[in-house]
Chain A
Amino acid sequence: MKQEKHYIQRVLSGDVNAYSYLVDMHKSMVYTIALRMVKNPETAEELAQDVFVKAFQSLKSFKFESKFSTWLYRITYNAVISSLRKKRLETADIDNAQLPEAEVMDTYNALTELKNNEQRIYIKQAIEQLKEEDAIMITLYYLDENSVEEIGAITGFTISNVKVKLHRARKRFYEALKLILKDEVKMIL
């Protein structure tokens, strides 16, 4: 964090090359967010590059009030939403997002029976099947370990809305993963 601040200040004082450090540090997560939402590697890479150029252009407006990553992911989220033609994301309906622990345990156990590379393939498939909003919630919360408040700052949703969306996304992820694993078992049999 301190080192990151140092590099930001170097960029602001005219050392443009110092920006490559910030790009290297955050490119994977920015690309992951873009890919999870647009679901196309080429488009995601283009978008991610645009995000870093935009972030560079508005770096002066970054006031160190939040983490640099939070600020960057907000730009990413807005850029992706904008590229999806500002498609209005469905509002959170407080549907039955309850997920029994037993169900999670069953899926978890079934998954751990598989080889590591197989696990990764099925998890990736399950994430790819999610809607962009569900995918971004799962990615920000479980992969990059952002807090609910930070996700709220990135996406512009209220904290309670983030919680609801997160629960729903998690439930959909398990539904997708269960289905994939079930198909896999059928194929083996």
Chain B
Amino acid sequence: MSKEEKNIDRYTREIIQKNGKEKPSGRFTNNVMAQIMKEPSLEFNFSFTKDEKENKTWLFLSVAAMFIGYLFFGLLKNDFNLVKSFEHSFSVKYLNVFIDFFAQIYYELSLSPYVLLGLAGVIVLIIIDKSVVKFLHSL
């Protein structure tokens, strides 16, 4: 583009921009939105989906850290003796703890009204939760 052409362009741009853009009526946007809302093609979609991009790195790192910590604790307790700590870590002798725990619950379980009320409350909450989710999905 020659210098003369550039000058002409500059002056013309200046002149044209002096006039500026035209303004539509004040209700322009409202009118457009009203027309759009009447569109039969307009469908409102509600979708409840999990975020696919959810980052699970921290979850895996935490699990790995817990496992490593558990092994390290075993080693520490057994004076860093690998064989001894392995035997202790994976032996079934601790299983008794779980059995004892459930046995205790079984013996202590009473059918007092409070326990029954508590159980009923939990069941009602689960039913409400399932119904709400089902209703939202049906929209």
Point out residues on A near B: beta carbons under 8 Å: 14, 16-17, 19-20, 23-24, 27-29, 31-32, 35, 44-45, 48-49, 52-53, 56-57, 99, 101, 104-105, 107-108, 111, 116, 119-120, 123-124, 127, 138-139, 142-145, 170, 173-174, 177
Point out residues on B near A: beta carbons under 8 Å: 4, 7-9, 11-25, 28-29, 31-33, 35-37, 39, 41-42, 44-45
| Contact, CB under 8 Å: A28 / B21 | yes
* Interface majority SS (helix, strand, loop, mixed), chain B: helix
Among A24, A31, A57, A127, contact of B19 (Cβ-Cβ < 8 Å): A127
How many A-B contacts are there with CB distance less than 8 Å?
Answer: 102
| Contact, CB under 8 Å: B17 / A49 | no
| Contact, CB under 8 Å: A104 / B8 | yes
* Interface majority SS (helix, strand, loop, mixed), chain A: helix
Among B4, B20, B28, contact of A49 (Cβ-Cβ < 8 Å): B28
- Could you name 21 residue pairs across A and B whose Cβ atoms are closer than 8 Å? A16-B33, A16-B42, A20-B32, A27-B29, A28-B23, A48-B24, A48-B28, A49-B32, A99-B8, A104-B12, A108-B11, A108-B14, A111-B15, A116-B18, A123-B16, A123-B19, A139-B16, A142-B9, A142-B12, A143-B21, A177-B15
Kindly provide the distance from the CB of B112 to the nearest chain A CB, expressed in whole angstroms: 50
Q: Name which residue of chain A comes closest to B22, CB basis.
A: A32
Q: Name which residue of chain A comes closest to B8, CB basis.
A: A104
